[in-house]
Amino acid sequence: MTINNVLNSRITEHYHSFSYSNRKIADFLQLNPEKVLMLSTSEIADICGVSKTTISRFIRKLGFKDHLELRSELMLERDNGDPMITSEHSDSGFSQDVTALERLWAQLNAGAAAPIIDKLISAKRVKIIGYRNSYPLALHFRQQLIQCRANVELLPLPGQTIGEDLSGIEADDFVILLGIRRRVSNFRQIVDFLKPFDCLLITDQSGQKYAADVQQMLVCHMNNQQPLDSYAVPMSLISYLVNQSFLKLNEQASVMSKHISTNYRRLGELE
């Protein structure tokens, strides 16, 4: 499934201006664009918990006259060679994760990964910020990245506010801000503060509203159809970025990793 279909592009363009109901529709259709080809507006409305009129207004907001015109655009892209599912398939949590992983790979395969990996290995310092559910992701990111390079920091320190740490960011640092799902109330202020700096935002589809405010953004589409979130996609992204960084650093990363393993043995920290 292509990440650059006309539906996805227009949703990203308008996401910052969407109402809550519009974002529910947008999140569903970005992850399941084939539903436009398979379902009626009434069926999409039922799934998203909105009215049929809301779906129609949403489609017009994207610049299409109606559902038929949007469907025709997607069918034209399919006829031109872009993959597009046109029959029902399992909507299990696993299948949704697979779909979201395919969308993530489309972003990376389109060239988004290379400049990020270059910065991960060349920046003077890498600073990783994550709150709430994004904190374990940030912690894991740091734990993996320090296996292949030095000067990787997790912000903020436990029990501290972020102001002190943000004041220490320098021009040659690379900042990774994770904001998945329920973000802290001052997240917008953090994004605004980081505008002058080299910053990558890793977010779910709801964070697309910050696209114009960061230098790089990677979207991990989360499954809104399950009661609790799967973090398979952002964890897979972290694994990919760190492993690619390790491979590019080559001997330097191997030396760092071996040194850490030696310390584990000397200190008796692992079985």
pLDDT tens digits for range 158-190: 777 898 888 889 999 999 999 998 899 999 999
Task: Tell me the β-bridge partners of 81.
Answer: none
Rounded (to 5) percent helix, strand, coil in the chain? 60, 10, 30
Question: What pLDDT shows up at residue 94?
Answer: 78
For range 17-29, the mean pLDDT: 91
**pLDDT one-digit tens code per residue, 202-237:** 999 889 889 889 999 999 988 655 657 789 999 999
Q: Which amino acid is at 169?
A: I
pLDDT confidence of residue 254: 85
Q: Tell the burial category of 252 from Cβ atoms under 10 Å away from its Cβ (0-12, 13-18, 19+).
A: middle
* Higher per-residue pLDDT: 188 or 100: 188
User: What's the Cα-to-Cα distance from 229 to each of 39, 53, 234, 236, rounded to whole Å?
Assistant: 25, 29, 11, 15
- Find the range with the poorest average confidence among 63-67, 85-89, 157-161: 85-89
CB neighbour burial string for 99-129, b if at least 16 within 10 angstroms, e if fewer? bbbebbebbbeeebbeebbebbbebebbbbb
Q: Please determine, for residue 42, whether its predicted confidence score (pLDDT) is greater than 80.
A: yes
**Residue 254 three-state SS:** helix
Give the least confident one: 81-85, 108-112, 135-139, 238-242.
81-85
Does the pLDDT at position 259 exceed 70? yes
What global pTM score does this model have?
0.70
pLDDT at 82: 52
**Cα separation of 172 and 170, whole Å?**
6
Q: Position 103: which residue type?
A: R
Half-sphere exposure (Cβ direction) of 132: Cα atoms closer than 13 Å:
9
Q: How confident is the model at residue 3 (pLDDT cuts 50, 70, 90)?
A: very low
Average pLDDT, the chain: 86
Short-list 201, 54, 228, 79, CA closest to 138? 201
Q: Hey, which of 1-15, 16-30, 61-75, 132-146 has the most confident mean pLDDT? A: 132-146
- Token pair for 91: 């909507």
